[in-house]
Amino acid sequence: METTIEKGSAIADPTILTEDTYNTLYGMLRSNDEGNHRMAQAILNQLKIQESIYFIWKLAKHHSYKMVYLRTKASRKFVEDTNLWRLERLDETEFAEYLDNRKWLTLELYQLLITDIVDHLRIKNNSRFYDFHITIKEEYKHLSPEDKLQKLIV
């Protein structure tokens, strides 16, 4: 039996997290209802990790312990496949490096992360005496072809 999804449905592919399904799961994990946590976990266990990693990372930053509430084989596999306990501690720059190491960093993911990466660099590299400038390295130009030298502290 083939299942069809109506056009305009919030869940076009239930195995890939989108912003809409992320928002739904975020609300479920944020609630105090154990049933919501269990349902969210069941949904997370079905995901294609690579295609959903950005939203999994965003959920993990606030709700990792609720994401694995069920102590099942599927939950353990989810934790291992996502490297959840490491993922929850990564900032934007570290997350981009994590994705790059796994060969999962795409143009779309980079575009989602770049503003936060630059903001993180601004905070980290603040000096009373020096101006800091950044540009993307040659091997990553494909991720940001329009990148120009930019001053970090304005």
pLDDT (tens digit per residue) in 22-60: 999 999 989 888 888 888 888 998 999 999 999 999 999
- Structure token pair of residue 45: 């266990």
**Pair 85, 53 in one domain:** yes
**Pair 118, 76 in one domain:** no
Residue 25's nearest CA partner among 11, 43, 9 is: 43
**Pair 30, 94 in one domain:** no
Residue 12 in this model has a pLDDT that exceeds 70: no
Name every residue whose Cβ is closer than 8 Å to that of residue 74 and which is 6 or more positions away in sequence: 45
Q: Determine the pLDDT at residue 132.
A: 86
First to last CA, the chain: 59
Q: Determine the pLDDT at residue 58.
A: 93
**Pair 42, 57 in one domain:** yes
**Pair 14, 77 in one domain:** yes
Higher pLDDT, residue 145 or 12 = 145
The whole domain housing 28 covers: 1-89
Q: Determine the pLDDT at residue 13.
A: 62
Residue that the structure tokens 């997350």 belong to: 95
Residue 144's nearest CA partner among 90, 100, 106, 116 is: 106
Backbone φ and ψ of 93, nearest 5°: -65, -45
Q: Determine the pLDDT at residue 9.
A: 42
Identity (one letter) of the amino acid at 110?
A: Y
Q: Which of 73, 89, 105 is the last residue of a domain?
A: 89
Helical pair 34-44 and 19-30, crossing angle rounded to 10 deg: 150
Provide the number of structural domains found in the chain.
2
Name every residue whose Cβ is closer than 8 Å to that of residue 91 and which is 6 or more positions away in sequence: 120
Tell me the pLDDT band of 109, cut-offs 50, 70 and 90.
very high
**Pair 68, 13 in one domain:** yes
